[in-house]
Amino acid sequence: MLTLIPHPTTPCPAVESLHVTMTRVNDGWQLCYILRGDLQQLRIPAPQTPTAADGLWEHTCFEAFIGVLNSAAYHEFNFSPSHQWAAYAFSDYRQRVDWQSSHAPRMVTTGTTGQLLVDIHLAAADFPANPANQPLQLGLTAVLETAAGEKTYWALAHPTKRPDFHHRDGFTHAIWS
């Protein structure tokens, strides 16, 4: 189980913990974000029809940044509890390129008092090209919006003074595809 921590400039007392589990499945990876705390103090988007959408990071969403070791290119995936999602490709730091995900992620969101689970199936076919079969580097992150509309930024690591999920030093978890 991996632990996400808040950026030092954006603490969120309502959150007790935010963890991610990853499981290899036949055609990709299963990611499960586990948020525990006083969920009444957070804005959690209501379920909608699953569809691709931009701007999900402006509200509560869970994210995965995936790059190949020794390559500047990476993909970004955003997952909203609403079941909306987004996928982007970058050739280098914040240099977006045309690309479309070939598989919509499958998501299941389960909420109980004090806990939200967002379970995502992400197809390996949507990971960055990796012809040399290098390890993949992951930055697992989340944006949590408080009931007051403030944003808190969570990640495995925060390498910069300001929240920046695109910074490669934040891609701290390695997996092999």
Separation CA 106–CA 50 (nearest Å): 9
Torsion over CA: 175, 89, 61, 169 (sign): positive
Note the pTM of the prediction, 2 decimals. Answer: 0.96
Both structure tokens of 27:
């055609």
What CATH number was assigned to the domain covering residues 2-175? 2.60.40
* pLDDT tens over the chain, length 177 residues: 999 999 999 999 999 999 999 999 988 999 999 999 999 999 999 999 999 999 999 999 999 999 999 999 999 999 999 999 999 999 999 999 999 999 999 999 998 889 999 999 999 999 999 988 999 999 999 999 999 999 999 999 999 999 999 999 999 999 886
Strand partners, 112: 115
Domain map of the chain by residue range? 2-175
Both structure tokens of 21:
């589990």
Helices (H) then strands (E): counts for the chain: 0, 13
